[in-house]
């Protein structure tokens, strides 16, 4: 993320440093009562000015609360909006609704509605119009922001910090240009949750939308003039919410959902929740992958939230109601032939308990389909064999029943799928190294009777033993993590030791993400990016020029697929994990740039990285003609040298030089991504995470003296004294510039002391 400079907004979007004049008057905070259903009509504008109390009581009926849901299903944004048309057209700030997030609108009457359409949006103006399915809503009239005067009294309505029905009075204290936008300067405090709220004159006409607060000046805020909103109303660019919600959406080129429920995908996993519209809550999703000729196998690893539910594999589907299903149901395995829409047309072929199924855990289920039989496996153990021939061909996929919530990963269809279980000899060798520390099954009656006479001594001994086992379990988890990290870093180093032209940047960036996710399979994302590139390439003519290819890339990545810079969750680790950036279609400047570069390379474009401090960008270097700076974080916007200089000045306060525009090596890009994660771990006070990332940096660049010093300190802090001594000795031997060797010697002395 280049540790982009933070700018704050009322919805935690950006901070604005302001050295503007003091407000003319102090603001007054006034509480208002929630309107009742009997008092729902708005009669504005009034013929004459109203008091603050009178105006608030009337206008508050049109104010709504807007919430957005984040990556983990939690609420990540809260803001305000207001109704401008009785049929459910609502105005707010773009940063309030957050690109690619589910949006919920709550009216002053307490009714909640999901947004159905983002009717219009303008990123530069930070404005948005959303549409809900409602009628006869109280609406506010729009005024004329060009006619405002300094010192004009106004009120602001909103939901600061989630507190509904709040009104603040003050005055307009001027107009200012901020980031190329003409804003109304207000002698009014704007707090978190007020964003998108209406600024009203004393007759109830909207003059602006509350947008941001000043960072250093109390009771000073800014509003976007309502006349800018009018232009947006006149030129809508409607986007159905289904397209808006790109985060976690299934790729329609890979999956086709049927019968409702909510199927989503991220981090290589698919999830399903909600009740399907089919009988018994049935819902299924079919893979578009080509099914091999017989014999073939289909498999998936799954976990249910509740073992009373049911979810699993589908095969020989006709795309409608007919298919086979193999799945856990009520902690038993079941093979069913579905010949129609309801239970009267379903045939349960097999249904029994198997000890191989691990309730509450991840299980791999597999079906082998041969010409005359169906073989069903659980964790590589054959549990069913059927000669049923009711269905003989069709698609494969996944299904769920009832209100089951389930997770799926590693879906495969192939002629043959390798076993997932660990070789017994390997498992035995590992267990021999770590020692036998586990027991299984409930305590036997003879054992209890044997220990009972020695109670309470037996209690003390057993509890001590339990504590020891728990500590051993924790150590085993740490050991597993350490092995994973070492193996991943070794693979990363191997990837980056190739010549610059041969380095697989996509693989390296995915390995950075794998440091924190041992289940990440880079091959799946390599396949996805290759598929995306083929999709762009197939629409290009054979004689496409480089400018044609660049236009197609920008259109596909930003307009069609919806990739965009993360603004509401900029400092979220997910924005640095390339697999999650690919899944969620949002990220940091550097992660989006890596994706852009890799797609460009696959369609025959030479696009390189440019490590601008504070904001990573790319440069297209055509075979003929001038190069072009591009900002993937901002929808592939073309940048001039002057605009890049302005960006650097805004982010770092320094002038642009030729050095800043040098091509970043792939190794430099990876180190910068690791440094971003290191900074986040430091903010979170996570020394283990910091150690993980700085170790990767040192292994990639063993001359990184400052990083090695940081690692030495972290190793010392995390009780890795021997490893800390190795780093200290390296620094004392090589004596690199920029390192306080006296501090290193002090650390080395501490490490030499007996503990």
Q: Is the pLDDT of residue 7 over 60?
A: no
| 294 part of a folded domain | yes
The two tokens of residue 134 are 């409602």
Mark whether 601 and 691 lie in a shared domain.
Answer: no
- Cα(625)–Cα(261) distance, integer angstroms: 51
| 537 part of a folded domain | yes
DSSP track, 259-283: SEEEEEEETTEEEEEEEESSGGG-E
Mark whether 509 and 579 lie in a shared domain.
Answer: yes
| 542 part of a folded domain | yes
- Cα(677)–Cα(703) distance, integer angstroms: 20
Angle at 735 between CA 733 and CA 739, to 5 degrees: 135
pLDDT at 332: 93
Mark whether 33 and 100 lie in a shared domain.
Answer: yes
Number of H helices, E strands in the chain: 18, 36
| 13 part of a folded domain | no
| 389 part of a folded domain | yes
CATH number, domain at 513? 3.10.620
- Mean pLDDT, to the nearest integer, of 256-274? 86
pLDDT at 431: 52
Which tens digit of pLDDT belongs to each residue from 668-699?
999 999 999 999 999 999 999 999 999 999 99
How far from chain centre, in Å, is Cα 746?
43
pLDDT at 624: 92
Residue 295: cis peptide before it, omega within 30 degrees of 0? yes
- Cα(522)–Cα(519) distance, integer angstroms: 10
Mark whether 198 and 295 lie in a shared domain.
Answer: no
CATH number, domain at 110? 2.40.10.120
Higher pLDDT, 467 or 465: 467
Angle at 515 between CA 512 and CA 516, to 5 degrees: 115
Average pLDDT of the chain is 86
Please, which pLDDT band fits residue 447 given cuts at 50, 70 and 90? low
User: In this prediction, what percent of the chain has a pLDDT beyond 70?
Assistant: 86
- Cα(248)–Cα(273) distance, integer angstroms: 13
Q: Is the pLDDT of residue 247 over 70?
A: no
- Cα(362)–Cα(84) distance, integer angstroms: 50
From residue 217, give the alpha-carbon distance in Å to each of 18, 455, 532.
7, 69, 48
Higher pLDDT, 11 or 568: 568
Cβ-contact 187, 173 below 8 angstroms:
yes
Cβ-contact 514, 488 below 8 angstroms:
yes
Please, which pLDDT band fits residue 435 given cuts at 50, 70 and 90? very low
Mark whether 482 and 502 lie in a shared domain.
Answer: no
Place of tokens 């390439």: 537
pLDDT at 472: 82
pLDDT at 651: 87
pLDDT at 29: 37
- Cα(626)–Cα(612) distance, integer angstroms: 19
- Cα(402)–Cα(281) distance, integer angstroms: 4
Mark whether 550 and 525 lie in a shared domain.
Answer: yes
- Cα(661)–Cα(224) distance, integer angstroms: 34
The residue from 365, 387, 414 where one domain ends is 414
Please, which pLDDT band fits residue 265 given cuts at 50, 70 and 90? confident
Cβ-contact 62, 82 below 8 angstroms:
yes
pLDDT at 428: 62
Mark whether 264 and 407 lie in a shared domain.
Answer: yes
Say if residue 435 is exposed, middle or buried (CB neighbours under 10 Å; 0-12, 13-18, 19+).
exposed
pLDDT at 525: 94
Q: Is the pLDDT of residue 433 over 60?
A: no
Mark whether 450 and 398 lie in a shared domain.
Answer: no
Give the closest residue to 700 by CA, choosing from 518, 495, 485, 484.
Answer: 495
| 114 part of a folded domain | yes
Please, which pLDDT band fits residue 100 given cuts at 50, 70 and 90? low
User: Within 13 Å and on the Cβ side, how many CA atoms surround 749?
Assistant: 6
Q: What string of H, E and C letters represents the secondary structure of 291-353?
A: CCCCCEEEEEEEEECCCCCEEEEEEEECCCCEEEEEEEECCEEEEEEEECCCHHHEEEEEEEC
Q: Which of 348-357, 472-481, 712-721 shows the lowest mean pLDDT across its residues? A: 472-481
| 249 part of a folded domain | no
Within a 10 A sphere around the Cβ of 647, how many other Cβ atoms? 20
The two tokens of residue 714 are 């972290």
Strands (DSSP E) found in 13-152:
28-31, 63-69, 75-85, 89-92, 103-106, 112-114, 117-122, 127-131
CATH number, domain at 351? 2.60.120.560
Higher pLDDT, 190 or 622: 622
| 80 part of a folded domain | yes
Residue 153: give the domain boundaries: 28-242
Mark whether 385 and 276 lie in a shared domain.
Answer: yes
Which tens digit of pLDDT belongs to each residue from 483-515?
999 999 999 999 999 999 999 999 999 999 999
The residue from 414, 446, 474 where one domain ends is 414
Which tens digit of pLDDT belongs to each residue from 51-91?
999 999 999 999 999 998 765 555 667 889 999 999 999 99
- Cα(337)–Cα(385) distance, integer angstroms: 14
Which tens digit of pLDDT belongs to each residue from 285-296?
999 999 999 999
pLDDT at 475: 87
Q: Is the pLDDT of residue 113 over 50?
A: yes
- Cα(220)–Cα(185) distance, integer angstroms: 7
Cβ-contact 256, 242 below 8 angstroms:
no
Please, which pLDDT band fits residue 99 given cuts at 50, 70 and 90? low
Count the domains in the chain: 5
Mark whether 98 and 237 lie in a shared domain.
Answer: yes
Q: Which of 425-439, 519-533, 602-616, 672-686 shows the lowest mean pLDDT across its residues? A: 425-439
Q: Is the pLDDT of residue 161 over 50?
A: yes
SS3 112: strand
pTM of full prediction above 0.75: no
Q: Is the pLDDT of residue 4 over 50?
A: no
- Cα(410)–Cα(696) distance, integer angstroms: 27
Q: Is the pLDDT of residue 555 over 60?
A: yes
Largest interatomic CA distance in the chain:
92
- Mean pLDDT, to the nearest integer, of 227-240? 87
DSSP track, 609-661: EE--TTS-EEEE--SSS--EEEEGGGTTEEE-HHHHHHHHHHHHS----GGGG
Mark whether 160 and 259 lie in a shared domain.
Answer: no
Which tens digit of pLDDT belongs to each residue from 330-363?
889 999 999 999 889 999 999 999 999 999 899 9
Give the closest residue to 97 by CA, choosing from 85, 109, 114.
Answer: 114
Mark whether 581 and 638 lie in a shared domain.
Answer: yes
Q: Is the pLDDT of residue 434 over 60?
A: no
Q: Is the pLDDT of residue 367 over 60?
A: yes
* In 497-542, alpha helices (H): 505-514, 522-538
């Amino acid at each position: 993320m280049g540790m982009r400079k933070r700018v704050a907004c009322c919805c935690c979007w950006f901070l604005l440093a302001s050295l503007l004049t003091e407000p003319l008057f102090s603001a007054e905070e006034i509480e208002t009562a929630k309107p009742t259903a009997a008092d729902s009509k708005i009669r504005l504008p009034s013929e004459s000015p109203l008091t603050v109390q009178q105006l608030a009581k009337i206008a508050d009926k049109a104010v709504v609360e807007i919430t957005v849901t984040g990556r983990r299903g939690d609420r990540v944004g809260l803001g305000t909006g207001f109704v401008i048309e009785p049929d459910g057209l609502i105005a707010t700030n773009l940063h309030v609704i957050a690109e690619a997030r589910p949006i919920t609108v709550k009216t002053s009457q307490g009714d909640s509605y999901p947004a159905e359409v983002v009717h219009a949006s303008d990123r530069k103006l930070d404005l948005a119009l959303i549409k809900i399915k409602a009628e006869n809503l109280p609406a506010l009239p729009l005024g004329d922001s060009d006619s405002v005067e300094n010192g004009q009294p106004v009120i602001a309505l909103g939901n600061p910090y989630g507190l509904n029905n709040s009104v603040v009075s003050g005055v307009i204290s001027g107009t200012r240009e901020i980031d190329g936008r003409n804003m109304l300067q207000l002698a009014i405090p704007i707090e978190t949750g007020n964003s998108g709220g209406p600024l009203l004159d004393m007759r109830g006409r909207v003059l602006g939308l509350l947008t941001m607060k000043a960072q250093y000046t109390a009771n000073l805020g800014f509003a976007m003039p309502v006349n800018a909103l009018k232009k947006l109303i006149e030129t809508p660019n409607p986007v159905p919410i289904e397209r808006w919600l790109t985060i976690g959406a299934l790729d329609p080129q890979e999956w086709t959902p049927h019968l409702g429920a909510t199927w989503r995908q991220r981090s290589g996993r698919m999830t399903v929740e909600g009740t399907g519209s089919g009988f018994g809550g049935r819902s299924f999703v079919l893979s578009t992958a080509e099914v091999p000729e017989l014999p073939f196998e289909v498999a998936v690893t799954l976990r249910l939230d509740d073992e009373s539910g049911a979810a699993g594999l589908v095969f020989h589907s006709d795309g409608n109601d007919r298919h086979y299903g193999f799945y856990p149901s009520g902690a038993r395995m079941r093979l069913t032939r579905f010949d129609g829409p309801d239970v009267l047309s379903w045939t349960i072929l097999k249904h029994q308990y198997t000890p191989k199924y691990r309730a509450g855990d991840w299980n791999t289920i597999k079906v082998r389909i041969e010409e005359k039989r169906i073989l069903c496996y659980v964790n590589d153990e054959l549990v069913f064999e059927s000669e049923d021939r009711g269905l003989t061909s069709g698609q494969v996929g996944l299904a769920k029943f009832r209100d089951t919530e389930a997770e799926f990963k590693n879906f495969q269809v192939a002629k043959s799928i390798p076993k997932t279980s660990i070789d017994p000899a390997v498992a035995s060798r590992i267990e021999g190294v770590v020692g036998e520390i586990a027991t299984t099954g409930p305590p036997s009656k003879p054992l209890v009777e044997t220990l009972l006479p020695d109670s309470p001594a037996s209690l003390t001994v057993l509890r001590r033993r339990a504590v020891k086992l728990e500590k051993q379990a924790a150590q085993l988890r740490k050991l597993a993590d350490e092995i994973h990290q070492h193996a991943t870093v070794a693979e990363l180093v191997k990837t980056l030791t190739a010549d610059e032209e041969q380095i697989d940047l996509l693989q390296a960036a995915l390995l950075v993400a794998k440091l924190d996710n041992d289940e990440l399979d880079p091959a799946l994302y390599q396949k996805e990016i290759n598929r995306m590139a083929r999709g762009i390439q197939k629409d290009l003519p054979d004689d496409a020029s480089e400018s044609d290819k660049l236009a197609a890339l920008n259109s596909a990545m930003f307009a069609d697929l919806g990739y965009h810079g993360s603004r509401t969750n900029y400092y979220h680790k997910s924005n640095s994990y390339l697999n999650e950036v690919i899944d969620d279609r949002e990220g940091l400047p550097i992660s989006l740039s890596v994706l852009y570069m890799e797609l460009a390379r696959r369609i025959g474009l030479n696009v390189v990285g440019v490590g601008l401090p504070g904001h990573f960008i790319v440069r297209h270097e055509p075979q003929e003609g001038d190069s072009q700076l591009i900002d993937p974080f901002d929808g592939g916007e073309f940048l001039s040298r002057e605009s890049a200089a302005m960006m650097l000045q805004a982010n770092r306060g320094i002038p642009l030089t030729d050095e800043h525009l040098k091509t970043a090596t792939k190794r430099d890009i990876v180190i910068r991504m690791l440094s971003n994660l290191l900074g986040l771990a430091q903010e979170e006070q996570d020394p283990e995470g910091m150690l993980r990332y700085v170790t990767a940096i040192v292994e990639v660049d063993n001359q990184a003296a400052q990083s090695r010093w940081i690692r030495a300190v972290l190793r010392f802090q995390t009780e890795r004294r021997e490893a800390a001594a190795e780093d200290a000795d390296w620094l004392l031997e090589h004596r690199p510039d920029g390192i306080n060797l006296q501090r290193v010697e002090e650390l080395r002395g501490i490490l030499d002391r007996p503990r």
